[in-house]
Amino acid sequence: MNFSQIPGRKDVASKLVQTVKSGRVSHAQIFAGAEGGSGLAFALAYAKYINCEDRREDDACGKCKSCVKYEKMAHPDLHFVFPVVKKKDKDPVSDDFITEWREFAGKTPFFTLNSWLDCIGASNSQGMIYTSEASEIIRKLSLKTFEADYKVMIIWLPEKMNDASANKLLKMIEEPPDKTLFLLVSNQPGKIIATIVSRCQMVRIPRIDDSDAAAWLAKTFGMAEEKAADISHVSNGNMAKAIELCHDEGASLDNLERFKDLMRFAWKRDVLSLINWSETVAALGRELQKEFISYSLRILRENIMLTLGQGNSGIVFMTGAETTFSKNFHPFITENNIFFLADEFSLAYAHVEANGNPKAIFLDLALKVTKVIR
């Protein structure tokens, strides 16, 4: 990944390049941005540029021995840590899944935790960075570099690191071996333990502008500019979502149908259908359940905007199918029930994340929606 391959945000690339030119590369940095954004892409491009053997003015050469290995994510001085799931009874480490990671992240640096966990067959398991990972990080970074100037440790989603693992890493992050670089790519920096945040330089990665995203989509997928613009607007800077919509709109349509069923059964007060609905959603994996709830919260947000007369303001983000549904649905989402609905869906998300009983969670949610939708 080169800086030139990242859509937009030339300001971020320029600042990162300048740190290398001025010799002010901070040993521990947090690349903080929204889910599906370009945090990982910038971390990869930055690490590649730092260790490039023939740097250009504003980017890596892409041709030297180091760049070729970085492109394959197989450089001996480039290490990765990311959320994984348990295998049998032992705590896993990222290297147990490194082959899958290189293949998956090598296709595109724009993806979500849900899509990564689906790739490794997580099923109902939630991805974590376990305590055993800290020992592995310390072991790797205690070794001398093989080829490059810097040993680089990219930690994707450090907020998924358990407290024991995070505390074990504090000393290493505060006083790393010479020429060692930690790049923590986070979607929720507020969930990283404060003692780690205090030892890192924060690099904010803003969302990609719609125009830059649309141009990148049109070029990458060879689609019409109008369609690319529509997808970039709906995605609202989430490139992972934009790519998903380009490949397959099926997942969004499935969630839309689940949402429509819930609202229709709740309006009719059809308790039997609501029970069947809750059991169907409960049969999905936990990550898909969380994805559905997040999707529902977005649809609720867009519909209250329509109810408040903001349909032409440019702040409503929906696909064609969602727009068609919402034309008739949005009057049912009002200032009287939106806060209750948002709270209940958010609570359901928290319960799913805490490994609660999904049948109970979704039936409770369905019955509460029934109370207020009319």
Q: What is each CA distance from 282 to 45, 127, 267, in whole angstroms? A: 40, 19, 21
- Residue 312: Cβ-neighbour burial (10 angstroms; 0-12, 13-18, 19+): exposed
Same domain, 196 and 213: no
Lowest mean pLDDT segment, chosen from 183-187, 220-224, 358-362, 369-373: 220-224
Cβ proximity of 210 and 238 under 8 Å:
no
Per-residue pLDDT band for 173 (boundaries 50, 70, 90) equals very high
Please give the residue that has the higher pLDDT: either 247 or 294.
294
pLDDT range class, residue 231, cuts 50, 70, 90: confident
Residue at which a domain ends, from 222, 247, 272: 247
Type of residue at 345: F
Counting residues of the chain whose pLDDT is more than 90, the rounded percentage is: 70
The candidate with the shortest Cα–Cα distance to 78, out of 110, 107, 116, 52, is 52
What gap in Å lies between CA 168 and CA 199, rounded to an integer? 14
Residues 153 and 25 in one domain: yes
- Among residues 13, 24, 8, 19, the alpha carbon closest in space to that of 58 is found at 13
* DSSP 8-state class, residue 88: T
Domain at 182, CATH number? 3.40.50.300
Go through the chain and tell me how many residues it has: 374
> Does the pLDDT value for residue 249 go beyond 70?
no
Alpha-carbon distance of 215 to 220, in angstroms, equals 9
Mean model confidence pLDDT for the chain: 91
Nearest to 11 by CA among 243, 208, 237: 208
Give the model confidence (pLDDT) of 122-166 as tens digits. 766 788 999 899 999 999 998 888 888 899 999 999 999 988 888
For residue 80, pLDDT over 70 is answered with yes
Token pair 């680089």: residue? 152
Same domain? For 132 and 178 the reply is: yes
By mean pLDDT, which of 71-80, 94-103, 232-241, 301-310 is the weakest?
A: 232-241
What is the model's pLDDT at position 312? 66
pLDDT of residue 318: 80
Nearest residue to 29 via CA among 256, 334, 15: 15
- In which domain, by residue range, is 74 found? 3-206
Residue that finishes a domain, picked among 154, 182, 206:
206
Examine the domain organization and report whether 317 and 197 are in the same domain. Answer: no
- pTM of the complete model: 0.74
Mean pLDDT throughout 159-187? 91
Give me the CATH number covering residue 332.
1.20.272
Closest listed residue to residue 74, CA positions, set 57, 95, 88? 95
User: What's the CA gap between 289 and 345, in Å, rounded?
Assistant: 11
DSSP H helices in 52-152: 65-71, 98-107, 113-119, 131-141
Q: How many domains does the chain have?
A: 3
Whether 195 and 257 share a structural domain: no
Q: How many helices (H) and strands (E) are present in the chain, helices listed first?
A: 17, 5
Q: 250 with 258: CB under 8 angstroms?
A: no
The tens digit of pLDDT for each residue in 306-342 reads: 999 876 666 777 877 888 899 999 999 999 999 999 9
Q: Are residues 240 and 256 in the same domain?
A: no
Same domain, 276 and 360: yes
